[in-house]
Amino acid sequence: MLQLKMEHFSLSTKFFFLSFVFAVLCRSEAVIQIPNNETVPAVIMFGDSIVDTGNNNGLISAMKCDFPPYGRDFNGGMPTGRFSNGKNFSSFPPPFLVEELGIKDLLPAYRDPSLQPKDLLTGVSFASGGTGYDPLTPKIVSVIPLSEQLQDFKQYIGKLKGIVGEERTNFILAKSVVFVVASSNDIANTYFLTGIRKAEYDIPSYADLLLNSASNFIKELYGLGARRIGVFSAPPLGCVPSQRLLVGGSETECAKQPNQASQVFNDKLSRELGYLNNNLPNAKVVYIDVYNPILDLVTNPKKYGFEIANKGCCGTGTVEVAILCNQLDHHHTCTDDSKYVFFDSYHPTEKAYKIIVNQLITKYIYNFV
């Protein structure tokens, strides 16, 4: 159900959303009407656990969360493969963005066996928790690499053409907002926790490896017809509970090196996306800064109504994530996750996601018009 907090928006943005509401009420195919007669027929997601809505459920991998306590605040306590207590960053992306834009209540996982043909028209998530720009990253945890997500996307395009024809498919691809969310697992896990890449790369050269992969991925999306592409920055990874403890050696302070690595990558990514935006005809390639809003959230939790930002709700809150955050931890898992910025040792709570998404919507939505 769409719930708009209109007091947070400017007059023009209110018109944007009110126009959308009218469109949803009057048409069976949800399309947002925005200024200049533009539309957003669908939202499409690529990347990692921040926007994975269940694609990992069918994998043989430790990077899964289709079991309690995940999803305990989602649709009556049903774990769906979203790495949170409720909705995930399927927030500026899936749930919240899709919900705010009125395209649908929830963005389904492309690999969900219950996916219906009509679901394809308004977008899906191809994301896989644990993946990254570095091709080694998904191999470590046996998840879906970006290259395979791209193959799924090609299959999706073929299915769309079978449903609505080539002309309408091209319209959907060109007018939809496509989000790419990756780099966190590369920096936090492949570089720092496992140390596998440290032997061959310093931080700047590893950032270049990630940047090259990100740039090529965006160009491939463009070649397949995507024109509105939003790319998330790396977050302040040194501030997630697991990195604080395992890399920084402290629960109270953010680990400096992962944060510095995120900043190095973000600087390079921002410049590259600016270049692509200027050089890919008719494209809107947008750099979306999540580093600073999340840093403010974890360093000033009380400002946003939180009490605890240095550990997660699940178990001890310092190392539990994916299969380590499970029903065996229920005696140690918090009873009130609204007090926590993080649900497990890596992923935010639904409340935290919602706050970040509201900030991102007001800042970036018109960059895609």
Indicate if 344 belongs to the active site.
yes
Q: Let me know how long the chain is.
A: 369
DSSP state of 233: P
Q: Residues of 146-161 as b/e, b for ≥16 C-beta within 10 angstroms?
A: beebbebbeebbeebe
The catalytic residue among 48, 52, 329, 344 is 344
Q: Identify the helix (H) or strand (E) that includes residue 216.
A: helix 203-223
Nearest-angstrom CA–CA distance, 100 and 105 = 9
Choose among 226, 262, 229, 233: nearest CA to 247.
262
Tokens of 176: 């939809």
Q: Which of 49, 128, 213, 215 is catalytic?
A: 49
CA angle (42 as vertex; 353, 152 as ends), nearest 5: 90
Task: For tokens 């799924």, name the residue.
Answer: 152
CA atoms of 106 and 90, how far apart (whole Å)? 8
Cα–Cα distance, 38 to 36 (Å, whole number):
5
Active site residue 347: yes
Among 112, 176, 186, 347, the active-site one is 347
> CB of 98 within 8 A of CB of 87?
no
Say whether 124 sits in a helix, a strand or coil: coil
How far is the CA of 213 from the CAs of 51, 95, 133, 235, 279, in angstroms?
19, 27, 6, 18, 18
DSSP for residue 366:
G
Residues annotated as catalytic are 49, 344, 347
